[in-house]
Each structure stands twice: as C-alpha cells, then as structure tokens.
Structure 1
Amino acid sequence: MMMTKYILALAAFVVSAAAQSITIAAPADGSTVTAGQTITVDVARANTLTPSQEVSVAIGLLNCGTSCSGIDPTQRFGQVVFAGPYTPSLHSSGPDFIDFYQNYSVTIPQNFAGSQASLNVAHFSLIGAGPFPNLETKSITLNVAASS
C-alpha cells in the first residue's frame, strides 16, 4: 500500500512538472535566418492549475557547423544572448493555443553564417505549494545564411 502511494505521489510530481514546461514557439525548428539578423524568440507555456512562480530564462546560440545532430544543450549551451526574468503574459489566442508567452529579441552572430545553430532555452521555475525548483532546457535548430 505504501509503495502505491509513493508511485502516485511521484506520478503527480512528474505531471505537475510537465504542465509547467515551456516551448520555443518561434522561430520554427529548421527555420533559415540570416547572420546579423535580429530575430524574435517566443518562449511559451500552457496555462496550468498547479501553482508556480516563474523565475528566469537564458537563451543561448551554439554554432554547430554542418550539423546540430546529437547536441545536448545541457552540456553545450553556446553563446548566451539573453539571461534574465521570465514573466510571460496571458494572451487569449497565443501561438498553438498556448496561453502564456514572452518574446525576446536576439541577434544572430555574424560568424554563424553558413552553418547550423542550436537555439537553446533554459527555463527555471518554482512549482507547487512546497515549492520545488524546476530547471529544463529546450532547443531547436536554425540554418544560418550569410547576409547579402
């Protein structure tokens, strides 16, 4: 009986952490951007009934050369282009039905031209009544063209 309670508590913990998860809503994975261009990174999360406190995000760009396959953003985050608070706003028609998001403007470094780049977001929040700390990373791959 005690083991069943433990498993249920663990499952509730995992579900509440997953409910707080962010997504990179823009740019789209596989998009082509231009070196030197300023892009908008849209960091979004769904609405949830679990109490939480958003703390911060960091956005990094990693020059992968010809391929970002196998890059782990928890091990190689890249050049930090933003680090600061994450205070998403409620939007009635957010991207992909996500209710909260915040946009950040970041510039693609000139020396990334002609390569793939891993755009990485690290998100830190406090979840639950306890609360417990939650750190997650998400990444997408961008194709970086040379500026004309």
Structure 2
Amino acid sequence: MKTAFVLLALVAAAVAQKVTIASPAANTAVKAGSNVVVAIDRPASETRSTDVAVIIGLQPCRKDGNCDAVASNYARVLYHGPFTPKSVDGHSDPSHNYTVKIPQNTTDGKALLQVAHFYYAGIGNNPQMETLNTVLQITS
C-alpha cells in the first residue's frame, strides 16, 4: 500500500505543472538576427507547486532535418532566469513573455526552440524539471 501511495504521489507531481510554449507557433519562420517573443503559459494545476526558472535555448536540427537527435542539447542558451507567470491579455492561462534574439549566425533550416522549466511541487517541495520544444524555420 505504501508503494502505491508513493507511486501516485510521483505521478501527481509529474503532471502538476506542464507549461506550454504558447508562441511562437510550430514551424514559424524566424529571421536569423531578429528578436522573437517566446510566451510560456502555465495552465492551472490542482497540485501545489512553485515556479522557479526557465532556460530557453535554440539548437539547429541536423542537415537531414532530424530534430529529435539534437533535442537534449541546449547549445545556444538565449535566456536563463526567473519564471513568474502572470495574467496576460490574450492568454487564458498565466503566462510569461520573453524577448530573445536569434543569433545572426544561425544556419537556415529547422531549429528547435527549447524550454527547460524548473519548479518544486507537492507537500515535500520536491524539485522537478520538465522540457519541451517546438520547431522553428530559420531564414537569413
């Protein structure tokens, strides 16, 4: 019975947060050297949690277009710092907008915009991390 409770608690913590990349949308064309607004939304959760920080990265995909092979590498960190979502016009969930610059020397083609979200959750304030990404089309 104790094992089942622990397993249930871990599952609840794992689904507690689940932020989303509200923008830019998947496959958005973005010019190298330009600024992009990255909006990260945090839907409501029934599990107590506290947001801590995010890392926003950009990783060019392989020449063959395979983005899965590079998903765990945050080669270019565009932002790292606090994540403090608040009510924002145009968003149904609390959100935090970040303006990041796509490096001028980013090669044309597919690239992963990556987000790592750090938070602590549950009664014991267990540290947690989740990662997500979306594909952008980089142009020169």
Q: TM-score, normalised by structure 1?
A: 0.84
1:93 Cα deviation after fit: 5.6
* Residues paired across the two proteins, number: 139
Asked if residue 78 in structure 1 is aligned to residue 95 in structure 2, the reply is no
Unmatched runs of 5 consecutive residues or more in structure 2: none
Instruction: Confirm or deny: 8 A CA contact 2:54 2:118 kept in the other structure.
Output: yes
Task: Indicate if the aligned counterparts of 1:24 and 1:43 stay in contact, CA closer than 8 A.
Answer: yes
- 1:61–1:81 Cα contact (<8 Å) kept: yes
- Equivalent pair of 2:61/2:70 in contact (CA under 8 Å): no
Taking the aligned partners of 1:81 and 1:91, their CA distance within structure 2 comes to 22
In structure 2, how many angstroms separate the alpha carbons of the residues matched to 1:71 and 1:100?
A: 32
Q: Which has the higher helix share?
A: 1
Cα distance change, pair 142–93 in 1 and its aligned pair in 2 (3 A): closer
- Between the aligned partners of 1:9 and 1:23, the Cα distance in structure 2 is 27
Residues 17-57 of structure 1 show CA distances to partners (whole Å, capped at 9, x for unaligned) of: 21311111100111111111100001111111211111100
State how far apart, in whole Å, the 1-side matches of 2:70 and 2:19 are.
Answer: 17
Q: Does residue 136 of structure 1 match 2:130?
A: yes
Equivalent residue for 2:99? 105
- TM-score for both structures, normalised by structure 2: 0.88
Letter of the structure 2 residue corresponding to residue 121 of structure 1: V
Matches of 1:72 and 1:15, distance apart in 2? 29
Work out the CA distance in 2 between the residues paired with 1:38 and 1:93: 20
Could you tell me whether the CA contact under 8 Å between 2:16 and 2:121 is conserved in 1? no
| SS of corresponding position for 1:29 | coil
